[in-house]
Amino acid sequence: MGKANLAGSNRQPWQARLLSLAPYISIGLLLLVLPAFLRTYPLSILTKILIYAIFAMSLDLILGYTGLLSLGHAAFFGVAGYTYGILMVRYGIESFWLVTPLGILAGGIAAAVIGYISLRVSGVYFLLVTLAFGQLLSVAAVKWTSVTGGTNGLVGITDPHLGIPGFTWTNLNFYYLVFLAFVICFFLLRRITNSSFGRALVGIRENEPRMQSLGYNTWAHKYVAFIIAGLFAGVAGVLFASFYQLMAPTHLGIMTSSSVMLMVIIGGAGTLFGPAIGASFIILLERFASDMVSSARWPLILGVVFVICVLFLRGGFGSYLSRFWRRVKRRYGSTES
Amino acid sequence: MDVLLAHFLIGLSFGFILFLLATGLTLTMGLMRIVNLAHGALYMVGGYVGLSVARLTEDLVGRDLAFVLGILAGGLCAGLLGLIMEAGFLRRLYKRDLDQVLLTIGFIYILTNVTQWIWGPVPEYGYVPSILSGSIPVGGITLPVSRLAIIGFGLAAAAGLWFFQEKTRVGAIIRAGMDNKEMTMGLGINLKLVFTGVFTLGAFVAGFCGLIGSPLLGVNLGVGWDALLLAMIVVIVGGTGSVQGALVGGIVIGLIDAFGKAYFPELAYFTMYLVLIIILLFRPSGLLGRRI
Amino acid sequence: MEVLRVEGLAKSFGGLQVLQELSFTVEAGAKLAIIGPNGAGKTTLFNVLSGQLPTTAGRIYFSGQEITRLPPHRRLHLGLARSFQINNLFLNLTLIDNMLLALQGAQHPHFQMFRSINAGTDLLAMAQNLLESMDLWEKRFDPVATLSYGEQRLLEIAFALASKPKLLLLDEPTAGLPTAEATAFANTIRNLVEDMTLVFCAHDMDLVFSLADRIMVLYFGQIITEGTCNEIQCDVRVQEIYLGSGRSSENVGSG
């Protein structure tokens, strides 16, 4: 888990800072430029990866940093996506500037309600309760056919209106919307995890009772983190609904929640970029497995990969990468430890 | 009055299935502090295996004996899988509680997909031995005999399990291990063996129930998650770590579900979630649980 | 002016009553040692005072304000800090991260989410001050799990000092330290707590006599007696409770 040096240091020479930022800049440039040359199918994979990367990073905030094991994170993703879709399909509201914030807000409200009840317990009980709530919402989506479309899901979500004359959505410019959202979310989450609030979350993960006796209102911290995570999951949910143009009850339930948890664990909890890598890995692997082996056997492959990762890959890819990167930085000069 | 009795019996029979499902889970949680999320998947495998064995043998030995063979096969298969899970994998993650839970999630994926591979995606129906077929009218509602039999079986199982927990040496060891691991080990007891034993027993009971519960829950690929969810709600409501907790939780949920379905049909599925939320808000450790 | 007042404080666990109707006060600037055989209830008393455990009966007043029902984090902000008998640190984090967490916790509570950590350089300076006074500054990037027991114990005390408390509760500060280290430790503590109100418990009578100006004797959850060091040393009842009177650093079992 993230053992990053929380103390930080602003005494680095500019070369070292540039080196620190290099991976972000280079990947950012790649993601910015490459898609213009991709065909539709690879572009859609990349779009999906970025959407799930946002989703996974939001879970990392509570799972990796705060140590809250939630198996119901898809609830906020799904609520946001459904809200977005319902506003468009059932109420005919098509302005991007209305439905998007409302959808995201719905995710946050769901997190506020569910978090309040779930945080009454901790540990494995918290795990079970969050799982139960996710399933509850999933079943509600199935039963409330008139609003949610029932088992078949909410279909026919059209493109939102940006209100810019002459603008139409294409695969490419939708991708850039998602990319922009990803960059903003990553930046914001980075700020949060590097702040004193973020540091406190790590402390809560490591030793919550001690944090209380040191003056922290740990319940309030956990609750706020939970809501923030719900909001960011909502961002992913809204983008998902917009991209696939449909929402189904399974997007609220355990299958989606455990998928995103796998992404966080395999990528490396507590690092932020780890889960983003985990998302890419899982989605690419799924494509590969479906093409080479069979899409029906994908869950089996995923389960095996998961078991192997948990048994042998402590800290996920992310921790290996960050250790490797720290060695590179030390080699090429940095006053930071 | 008779109508009430009918609903009561329906709820009770469901409650006993829940009790049996939850017992393995609650003992594992109380003793080993891990949640075996694959518990539901083991129930599902037990159902499929039991169904196949019963169908295969029913021409030879008749439906009743086939049923017995089925439940035994289901239990043994699940028990074996549980043994492999614990001894082969979970044990290596000693003290890594979160990782153990995650591992069980991986097992769910594997078990569910392999089951689908072998048996296909088509859902099956319940299997009932011939002596228990037929139904009895109670209060204007036709109750299948199998449901009443579940109540009888459940009572017997509850008595047996309670006896095991309270009156046998192994049961005492388990209770001691829940209270104070170090002390129990200090008494020279091989706790690892006890862990494996409890886990395997829980798996066996889950698989065993697969066919028994089939008239109520069916045998299909989704039943693993359904069963897990139900077992979890029972454990939280009843309190972890004891047979009594699972029993009380199971019966409470079963009855509330039955009466809920009867009198508030729109809210039917949600009544048990309502109970869960109320318990969490006002008594998080469960009705019979120790304070968390 | 009294910093702490305890009235009729009782604590039981089920049928077992660990603390029985304790009442005492602590004046500002006092250095009170609580002694008593194992099982007398010293750690339970500390847990109740700092809020880790709820009281069964009685009230606690801190600088005149009742704190009986306040959660631990609120008590810290009123000025009550404690250290633990068994090291209760963030083992996987570095020393400096541990110290920063402790110092940050004492800040007036509000959620700082968007200011980066570097904006709190005054925290870093405070950490440097505190760690240098304990000779721990060089090891600040080491994970706490790799420090020696004595160093961890120092950090445990540093945690309690981080908030510049009005009342410091130290639960067996030298527990587990070999005699030589314990004496040095005691000197370090004495310098650090000169101006503070201190309540501590210990089995090491050398530590008690060197640090305390008043001693309170606890036995099976009751206060047997209280007084200055001289008075306690001469008290017959105290001698009866301990196997052999006046011996220091020996394992004192229950009478």
> CB within 8 A of B178, min separation 6: which ones?
B30, B31, B241
Residue A303, both tokens: 């389960």
What is the spatial distance between Cα C237 and Cα A323, in angstroms, rounded to a whole number? 62
Q: Which of the 8 DSSP states describes residue C108? A: P
Q: Which of B9, B74, B103, B31 is nearest to B213 (CA)?
A: B74
Q: Could you give the percent of chain C with pLDDT greater than 90? A: 36
Residues from chain B that touch A127, judged by Cβ atoms under 8 A, are 35, 101
Check pLDDT > 70 for residue C180. Answer: yes
Write the pLDDT tens digit of every residue in A64-101: 999 998 999 999 999 999 999 999 988 888 888 999 99
C16 in A contact zone (CB under 8 Å): no
Tell me, what's the pLDDT at B242? 78
DSSP B86: I
- Residue with the larger pLDDT of the pair A104 and B182: A104
The answer to whether B112 and B226 have CB atoms below 8 angstroms apart is no
Question: Which residues, other chains included, contact C220 with Cβ-Cβ below 8 Å and sequence gap of 6+?
Answer: C20, C39, C40, C41
Q: What is the mean pLDDT of chain B?
A: 83
pLDDT for position C245: 44
A304-313 pLDDT per residue, tens: 988 888 888 7
Instruction: Check residue A91 and report its DSSP letter.
Output: T
- pLDDT for A2: 36
How many angstroms away from the CA of B32 is the closest CA of chain A? 12
Convert the pLDDT of each residue in A109-145 to its tens digit: 999 999 999 998 888 789 888 998 998 999 889 888 8
Q: Locate the domains of chain C by residue range.
A: 1-40+52-79+165-255, 89-164
What is the structure's pLDDT at B176? 78
Q: To 10 degrees, what angle do helices B191-212 and B169-179 make?
A: 110
The rounded distance, in Å, linking the Cα atoms of C221 and C202 is 16
What are the tokens at C220? 């099976």
Residues of A contacting chain B (CB within 8 angstroms): 69, 117-118, 120-125, 127-129, 131-132, 135-136, 139-140, 143, 254, 258, 261-262, 265, 296-297, 299-300, 302-304, 306-307, 310-311
Tell me the pLDDT band of A151, cut-offs 50, 70 and 90. confident
User: Which residues lie across from A309 on neighbouring strands?
Assistant: none
For chains C and A, having 3+ Cβ pairs within 8 Å is answered yes
Whether CATH 3.40.50.300 fits C1-40+52-79+165-255: yes
**B291 is a domain residue:** no
Instruction: Tell me the CA distances in angstroms from A170 to A44, A180, C74, one per residue in order.
Output: 11, 15, 55
Q: How many CB atoms lie within 10 A of CB C227?
A: 15
Query: Is the confidence at residue B59, as pLDDT, over 50?
Result: yes
Q: How far apart are CA B159 and CA B165, in angstroms?
A: 10
Task: Of B269, B258, B248, B211, give the one whose Cα is nearest residue B9.
Answer: B258
> Edge-to-edge, what's the strand order for the sheet holding C214-219?
C80-83, C167-171, C197-201, C31-35, C214-219, C222-227
Residue C255 has pLDDT above 60, yes or no: no
Confidence of residue B238 (pLDDT cuts 50, 70, 90): confident
pLDDT at residue B121 greater than cutoff 90:
no
Contact B117 A304 (CB under 8 A): no
pLDDT at A315: 67
Give DSSP secondary structure letters for A136-197.
HHHHHHHH-HHHH-GGG-EE---PPB---TT----HHHHHHHHHHHHHHHHHHHHHHHTBHH
Specify the DSSP class assigned to residue C85.
Answer: S
Rounded Cα distance between C213 and C197, Å, is: 11
Q: Where are the alpha helices (DSSP H) in A194-272?
A: 196-213, 218-244, 254-267
Nearest-angstrom CA–CA distance, C207 and C209: 6
pLDDT value of residue C225: 83
Cβ-nearest to A310 among B106, B273, B276: B106
Backbone angles phi, psi at C74, to 5 degrees: -70, -35
User: How big is the A-C interface in CB pairs under 8 Å?
Assistant: 110
Measured CA to CA, the distance from residue B143 to residue B10 in angstroms comes to 8
CB–CB of A7 and C159 under 8 A? no
Here the tokens at position B38 are 């694959």
Sorted by sequence, the CB contacts under 8 Å of residue A288 that are 6+ apart come out as: none
Q: What is the pLDDT of residues C30-51, one digit of tens each?
A: 999 998 887 778 889 999 999 9
Of A8, A216, A217, the CB nearest to C117: A8
- In-domain check, residue B292: no
Against chain A, the chains showing at least 3 CB pairs within 8 Å are: B, C
Query: How much is the pLDDT for B258?
Result: 86
Q: A164-212, pLDDT tens digit by residue?
A: 887 888 888 899 999 999 999 999 999 999 888 999 999 999 999 999 9
Best mean pLDDT range from A110-124, A283-297, B120-134, C235-249: A110-124
The answer on pLDDT for B168 being more than 60 is yes
CB atoms C109 and A210 under 8 Å: no
pLDDT in tens, C78-119: 999 999 988 899 999 999 999 999 998 888 665 665 555 555
- pLDDT at position A175 is 93
Indicate yes or no: CB of B109 within 8 angstroms of CB of A296.
Answer: no
Mean pLDDT of chain C: 84
Q: Are C73 and C21 in contact (CB under 8 A)?
A: no
3-state secondary structure of C227: strand
Residue B289 included in any domain: no
The predicted structure's pLDDT at residue A333: 54
> Residue type at C41?
G
What pLDDT does C120 receive? Answer: 59
Indicate yes or no: CB of A200 within 8 angstroms of CB of C115: no
Query: Is A117 in contact with B280 (Cβ distance < 8 A)?
Result: yes
Which member of C51, C73, C117 has the closest CB to residue A199? C117
Q: In the predicted model, is pLDDT for residue C65 greater than 80?
A: yes
As a whole number, mean pLDDT of residues C145-158 equals 90
Which residue has tokens 């160093």?
Answer: C151
> What is the ipTM score, two decimals?
0.86
Contacts (Cβ under 8 Å, ≥6 apart) of C15 = none
The mean pLDDT of C7-35, rounded to a whole number, is: 89
H helix or E strand, kind and range, residue A44: helix A40-60
- Interface partners of C (3+ CB pairs, < 8 Å)? A
Mean pLDDT of A288-311: 85
Instruction: State how far residue A277 is from chain B, nearest Cα, in angstroms.
Output: 19
> Is the separation of the CB atoms in A211 and A203 below 8 Å?
yes
Give the per-residue pLDDT at B280.
81
What dihedral angle (degrees, nearest 10) is formed by the CA atoms of C94, C97, C99, C100? Answer: 170
pLDDT value at B267 more than 80: no
List the single range of A267-276, B123-132, C143-152 with lowest mean pLDDT: B123-132
pLDDT of residue A52: 97
Which structure tokens are listed for A308? 């192997």
Question: Would the pLDDT of A15 be above 80?
Answer: no
Give A122's contacts (C-beta < 8 A, 6+ positions apart).
Answer: B292
Question: CA of C94 to nearest chain A CA: how many angstroms apart?
Answer: 8
For residue A294, the chain B residue with the least C-alpha distance is B117
Q: Is the pLDDT of residue B289 over 90?
A: no
More confident residue, B104 or B274: B104
Contact C117 A195 (CB under 8 A): yes
Burial of A62 (0-12, 13-18, 19+ CB in 10 A): buried
Q: Could you tell me if residue B93 is inside a domain?
A: yes
pLDDT in tens, A44-73: 999 999 999 999 999 999 999 999 989 999
- Number of domains chain B contains: 1
**Res C111: pLDDT:** 61
pLDDT of residue C246: 47
Q: Are A236 and A54 in contact (CB under 8 A)?
A: yes
Q: How far is CA B172 from CA B160, B177, B184, B242, in A?
A: 15, 8, 10, 12
**pLDDT for B61-110, tens place per residue?**
888 888 888 889 999 999 999 999 988 888 887 777 778 888 898 999 99
Q: Which domains, from first to last, does chain A contain?
A: 14-331 (1.10.3470)
Closest Cα of chain C to A13: distance in Å?
15
- Residue B290 belongs to a domain: no
Which range of residues forms the domain containing residue B34?
2-282
pLDDT band at C250 (very low <50, low <70, confident <90, very high): very low
Task: Tell me how far apart the alpha carbons of residues B257 and B284 are, in angstroms, rounded to a whole number.
Answer: 20
